[in-house]
Amino acid sequence: MHSYFAVVFTDLVRHSVVWERVPRNAMMTIIAEYRYLAQSIASQYGRRHENFTGDGHLFLFESADVATHFGLKLIAYWKQRRRSVLALHRAPDLPIRIGCHFGECSQLADADDWIGRAINTAKRVEEVAEADSLFVTQTILELVDLPFYEYSEAGLHNLKGDFISQRPL
């Protein structure tokens, strides 16, 4: 069965570099703190599905507006929370980046896993997002209530595996 969702993909920037510089237990605590924060906020916004990928998350939301609000809130709360968490462990900064796209997804039979082009696109959008930024595709912009947001164009991007040669973000 195919469904349409606003897909949000998050990632902690330069996490692999930090893993090399921070003791394992400290890094596990930092990741756990991020994960708890992201899951708590996502549950407040009624996420349909989530999957933790080790350093980031995949979230599915019913609405582009809800996904956008979630992404902006996660950035703001992680900025605030990471200051004390990272200082406690003497870890370098770990900003977050978020990509969002709306499209078709399918749940695998007999599993809680989801696949789809929208998921792949959101991951690629996240990969080009700037630190502490939410990058969205044109599809999201067309579905949100724009007067409630301040935004700027991030330009055209070639996203690996995307069927569109250059996607405006």
CATH number assigned to the domain comprising residue 101: 3.30.70.1230
Cα diameter, the chain = 47
Picking from 14-23, 35-44, 131-140, which range would have the lowest pLDDT averaged per residue? 14-23
CA separation for the pair 35, 58 (Å, rounded): 11
pLDDT of res. 24: 86
Write the CB contacts of 137 (distance below 8 Å, at least 6 apart in sequence).
Answer: 100, 101, 102, 121, 125, 167, 168, 169
Which residue from 80, 97, 95 is spatially nearest to 135, judged by alpha carbons? Answer: 97
The residue range of the domain holding 43 is: 2-168
Buried b (16+ CB within 10 A) or exposed e, 114-128: bebbbbbbbbbbbeb
DSSP H or E run through 56: strand 56-61
pLDDT at res. 78: 95
What would the mean pLDDT of 12-40 be, rounded to a whole number? 85
d(C-alpha 34, C-alpha 59), whole Å: 14
pLDDT in tens, 51-105: 887 667 899 999 999 999 999 999 999 999 999 988 888 888 899 999 999 988 8
Phi then psi for residue 29, to 5 deg, are -65, -45
> What pLDDT is attached to residue 22?
83
Report pLDDT digits (tens) over 102-127.
Answer: 988 888 877 778 777 888 888 988 99
Pick from 21-25, 41-45, 52-56, 134-138: least confident: 52-56
Q: How many domains does the chain have?
A: 1
- Does residue 162 carry a pLDDT above 90? no
149, pLDDT greater than 80: no
- Position 168 scores a pLDDT of 62
Burial classification of residue 18, based on how many CB atoms lie within 10 Å of its CB (0-12 exposed, 13-18 middle, 19 or more buried): buried
The pLDDT of residue 1: 58
Residue 147 in contact with residue 141, Cβ under 8 Å? no
The answer, yes or no, to whether residue 155 has pLDDT greater than 80, is no
